[in-house]
Amino acid sequence: MVLMVYVCKIFFCRFSLGDARRPLHETVVLVEDVVHTQLINLLQQAAEISQLRGARVISAEDLLFLMRKDKKKLRRLIKYLFIRDYKSKIVKGIDEDDLLEDKLSGSSNTNKRQKFAQDFLNSIDQTGELLAMFEDDEIDEVKQERMERAERQTRIMDSAQYAEFCESRQLSFSKKASKFRDWLDCSSMEIKPNVVAMEILAYLAYETVAQLVDLALLVRQDMVTKAGDPFSHAISATFIQYHNSAESTAACGVEAHSDAIQPCHIREAVRRYGRKIGPLSPFTVRSRWAASVVTIG
Amino acid sequence: MPSAPSRAPRPLAYWVIPQLPTADPLPMDEETETYLELYLDQCAVQDDFVPPRSPLFSPVVPYVYTPNPSNPETTFNSHLESKETSGNFSSVDLSFLPDELTQENKDQAVIRSKHETEENSETQSQQSRLPLPSGQDVGPGSDSSSLSNSRSHLHPGDANSIQSAPAKPNCNSSPLASITPMTPMTPVSECCGIVPQLQNIVSTVNLACKLDLKKIALHAKNAEYNPKRFAAVIMRIREPRTTALIFSSGKMVCTGAKSEEQSRLAARKYARVVQKLGFPARFLDFKIQNMVGSCDVRFSIRLEGLVLTHQQFSSYEPELFPGLIYRMVKPRIVLLIFVSGKVVLTGAKERSEIYEAFENIYPILKGFRKA
């Protein structure tokens, strides 16, 4: 599968979010599937919402609306949009050609995306919670943890490794927009997402992969039987079931830190935290989730 | 600002106030002292204090402003005028517009003629001078200038300069503190020999007359005009290599120059083109809006570490942009820091801000040097 190669690359870059150097192929396949399912799910729901609105395209508003329940994720998304705007503004000022391009395209909106998001949330906000998000300055813990993890990892790398690491971090779904669209099978949909919506979807895909990695790492950490841990005997039965016959819990635990994330970790993460993964997490139906994951490889 | 015209004209050599310990240990060469002098010129020095060092400056006579004894009041007033109305001052820049002479008053004519001579000496001097922190492109190289020329050096220098306090009426509480880090005229930073190079300057000027863009586009070479796409004429000249956006209101944006003087020169050339097409173009309110500099620290930087320790200033989203965006508060500059060690500085209105920002960031970057 051509797309697999692409996603493999993406996931490889996600090792920056905590994975080892070369991800296992099976893990990548699994992650791709999970992300794919999530996004298709999201798209379908967004399409329904658009239809309700009577719009012809899926726009950012639909996605924002779907995510309204999860404040943390929403906030991260808003911050991302803001950074995107800010970066365009800065880069534009640097090169004269960019400046001309911007003027010629007629859009001199510096905070286009963020303002747009803010306006929309304003319109649907009934309790004032959503708007409070914009003023909220509290630290995003998840992001903080990711930054710390990256910092720890990079400290021990040498310069060649670091260069490779940086390059891989720069990959994103939005860079391969056409492939991304095909992957999501947008052409077969009646209502298609517009450009901003695609940007947001690319970001959400990235976030989903990141979340999966975060949670899988947590799972992996849990698998290490620590001396003196009173609950080590209480590892879930379903968890053990996912290991293939060759592995044993102990073996898994021993290799935990230096090894790549195994598919078993991913599956367990989904099982345990299925409700939290993905942009639609508050709406996720657990049974549908568990079923879809079990049928994979 | 010189305090009041009521004072008797005196040698406007606003010298170093005695309590200047910081100035002493530094190797003071000609250029340094000139820079200091010019900087202090802009701060009100209450006393007519001539420090013992003044004899040193006799060889540097060209930079001493001594009012013409024959017409002290006029020149003094002109000096003041030029300081207070820096906008108007630049309006007399167009040396090629003889008809302006009848409109302006005599004082400004005096200034303009001085500026003309400055113009001449400027174009003679090399472009590739060391960038001075004060932004003064007049260096000691113009030895041939007579006293009047040198006076003109001072004036436009003061009015045009991209120094830290160009036309501000009041000086900072510690003006010297802010110049001490940059005191060497050659802006060699204290820790390294790296100097940010200016890459792009964006400036605006008001031609102060309504323009018929169609006419300009038809008659001018290298002009593009597509009203459906954008409501301005895009004109380009080769020397200095720049691009201008000319609007029908008479406002113009000039981009692409590599130094402040080049930007000004280019803007004047565009104004001349417009003028030659029959419009009564003037040259008002020339202002540098943005300056972009770049340099290379020549080592890899571990951006993850930087973003963690300087969270409130930096944002790093590698999947969005390969560089770290660092928003420095003082001076208010945005730096784009890349893993390779390249640093781009933007958002400056004055050259000194770029140098200062780089001085500030360099030790931080050294701390995150990657192997």
Q: Is pLDDT of A287 > 50? A: no
Q: Is pLDDT of A85 > 60? A: yes
Q: Is pLDDT of B345 > 80? A: yes
d(CA A77, CA A100): 29
Residues in contact with B338: Cβ distance below 8 Å, sequence separation at least 6, in sequence order? B301, B322, B323, B324, B344
pLDDT tens, A147-156?
Answer: 888 888 788 8
Q: Is pLDDT of A32 > 90? A: no
pLDDT tens, B296-324?
Answer: 999 989 998 999 999 889 999 888 888 99
Label residue B190 left, alpha or beta by phi (over 0 means left) and psi (-120 to 50 means alpha).
Answer: alpha
Question: Which DSSP letter does residue A238 get?
Answer: H
Question: What is the pLDDT at residue B290?
Answer: 92
d(CA B294, CA B346): 9
Quote the minimal CA–CA distance from A110 to chain B in Å. Answer: 15
Tell me how far CA of residue A11 lies from CA of A32, A38, A146, A221, B358, in angstroms. Answer: 9, 16, 15, 20, 36
Nearest to A154 among B243, B245, B304 (CB): B304
Cβ–Cβ gap A162/B339 under 8 Å: yes
Cβ–Cβ gap A99/B336 under 8 Å: no
Range among B127-141, B177-191, B341-355 with highest mean pLDDT value:
B341-355
pLDDT tens, A189-204?
Answer: 777 888 888 888 888 8
Question: What is the pLDDT at residue A111?
Answer: 60
Q: Is pLDDT of A66 > 50? A: yes
pLDDT tens, B215-263?
Answer: 999 998 889 898 888 889 999 999 889 999 999 999 999 999 999 999 9
Confidence of residue B12 (pLDDT cuts 50, 70, 90): very low
Cβ–Cβ gap A158/B300 under 8 Å: no
Confidence of residue A236 (pLDDT cuts 50, 70, 90): low
**Considering only CB atoms, which chain A residues are within 8 Å of B243?**
96, 100
Residue that is written with structure tokens 């001018």 in the block: B220
Question: Which DSSP letter does residue A175 get?
Answer: G
pLDDT mean over A270-276: 71
Tell me how far CA of residue B115 lies from CA of A200, B99, B107, B336, in angstroms. Answer: 56, 16, 12, 38
More confident residue, B344 or B153: B344
Range name among A267-276, A285-294, B1-10 with the lowest pLDDT average: A285-294
Q: Which of B225, B320, B339 to mutate to test the interface with A (most CBs of A within 10 A)?
A: B320
d(CA B95, CA B218): 26
**Considering only CB atoms, which chain A residues are within 8 Å of B315?**
83, 86
d(CA A187, CA B147): 77
pLDDT mean over B267-282: 92
H or E stretch at B153: helix B147-160
Q: Is pLDDT of B53 > 90? A: no
What ipTM goes with this model? 0.75
pLDDT tens, B71-82?
Answer: 444 444 444 444
DSSP characters for B157-186?
A: HHHH--SSSSS-SS--S-HHHHHGGG-SSS
Q: Is pLDDT of B2 > 70? A: no
Angle, alpha carbons A21-A26-A30 (nearest 5°): 105
Strand partners for A240: none
User: φ and ψ at A288, to 5 degrees?
Assistant: -60, -40
pLDDT mean over A53-60: 82
Q: Which of B222, B243, B304 to mutate to test the interface with A (most CBs of A within 10 A)?
A: B304
Question: What is the pLDDT at residue B86?
Answer: 40
Question: What is the pLDDT at residue B153?
Answer: 40
**Considering only CB atoms, which chain A residues are within 8 Å of B292?**
93-94
List the helix and strand counts (H, then E) for chain B: 11, 12
Quote the minimal CA–CA distance from B1 to chain A in Å. Answer: 33
Counting every residue written for chain B, the total comes to 371
Nearest to A148 among B292, B308, B339 (CB): B308
More confident residue, A185 or B240: B240
- Which of these, B2, B159, B163, B42, lies nearest to B93 by C-alpha position? B159
